[in-house]
Structure 1
């Protein structure tokens, strides 16, 4: 590997930007549900989740809390686990492609596959964070 690439990959700034890129979808969704609380309630009710207030507050907490742990690289494994659990639950509750047909089934399948891919990214961050902390590498805290 070229030295410049290795230096870039060991950069604390790139490590932060990678974590930020991974959680931006969770942060934006959590903030949207917080800022437009009524919209979040409609979303929960649309998914059949009652009491909607409880599920909206729980979702906001999971999305923002998990993202914060990943972003701060403090217990990133826990943040990654919480966000991964959230994604897997949304597949089972919302993106039930196996119970749908036609175009809706295809859209739900694509969302489910995307969620699985993001879970892979979250696992990679948890592994990398653990190794950085264990080895005292650049960018570790």
Structure 2
């Protein structure tokens, strides 16, 4: 299957509206979580401290600002490659901090491993977005 086989579908998939929607959906996990961090600031701050990130309020504020800023750069396609790289490193770094499945057993290991695998897929999507950015 090539572009010549489905020209209308290819054109629609590469329209600016569809690409904008795709960038919004790709970054949804980041900006929606940042909004939740704001709404439940103390809860998120305590959770970060449980992972050894102290002071929790500072890490919470920093990650909130970081996720919103990087998401905006991708959605607006403004130096998206910088945001894609930064978010990929951020997501990769969360695996040993919050999803270290190799140090767990049973259901906890299963859940942490699934999160780690999902994170790897998200990194793949981010890299594709970087390749398609203007």
* TM-score, normalised relative to structure 2: 0.92
2:30 counterpart residue number: 26
| Structure 2 runs not aligned, ≥5 long | none
Q: Which gives a bigger RCO, structure 1 or 2 (Cα 8 Å, sep 6+)? A: 1
- In the alignment, is the contact (CA less than 8 A) between 2:23 and 2:75 conserved in 1? yes
Cα RMSD, aligned residues only: 1.0
Return the alpha-carbon distance in structure 2 between the equivalents of residues 62 and 101 of structure 1.
Answer: 32
Counterpart of 1:70 (choices 70, 74, 79) is 74
2:112 counterpart residue number: 108
Return the alpha-carbon distance in structure 1 between the equivalents of residues 96 and 65 of structure 2.
Answer: 20
1:91 counterpart residue number: 95
Alignment of 1:12 onto 2:21: no
1:137 counterpart residue number: none
Alignment of 1:50 onto 2:54: yes
Residue correspondences, number? 130
- In the alignment, is the contact (CA less than 8 A) between 1:30 and 1:60 conserved in 2? yes
Structure 1 segments of 4+ aligned residues over 6 angstroms from their partners: none
Displacement of 1:35: 2.3
* TM-score, normalised relative to structure 1: 0.88
Displacement of 1:10: 2.0
